[in-house]
Structure 1
């Protein structure tokens, strides 16, 4: 059975590109267009991992990550932040919000898939 990823990004073209990249790694991808849409999707599913853009309208990635970490249901959900915000402070803010990893755009297929596989392996290794 394929592992599922909830991909949250407000840029439709980037979501399509990232979905294709992840599908080459044999992942099942569900897309959400922003943080609020992601919360709606989480009502009906529990993904194996979430990839979260930082800068989004309505509910940004950092706020969504904090909200998920505060909930008992999603506190341990593996989260990878993927953003064009590459400054040290932005990376630290994402990690402090509870992200397992913070990747900077642009990203290669190999970097994305390897990171997702690493984070999933770490999540299953934890007792």
Structure 2
């Protein structure tokens, strides 16, 4: 990544997180769009490893993770916590903004985030 221009895109993949769907994985694939979606939430430019949880007035929740292109995600349930794991391919790929739609009651669940097995704090917006 050093010396290479970093392109910002929105890679959207929908993940409806229900108890029955916990543990299912998938490759974050979908439509690529410019990262301006975060500007409306006050984020000027994300940095590698940034995770944002954005809840709209309609209680729609979207998680954005700025990680390598081709990153796979999984979700598992641990009591009252949902653990969201992002596993990068590790090939030094360009960075991509991955978008995951979350359909849970945040009053009942805690969301925990991990990138390559390391715990990462998220910024609630």
Quickly name the TM-score band, shorter chain normalised. Answer: under 0.3
Structure that is richer in strand per residue: 2
Larger Rg: 2
TM-score when scaled to structure 1? 0.26
TM-score when scaled to structure 2? 0.27
* More RCO (CA 8 Å, sep 6+): 2
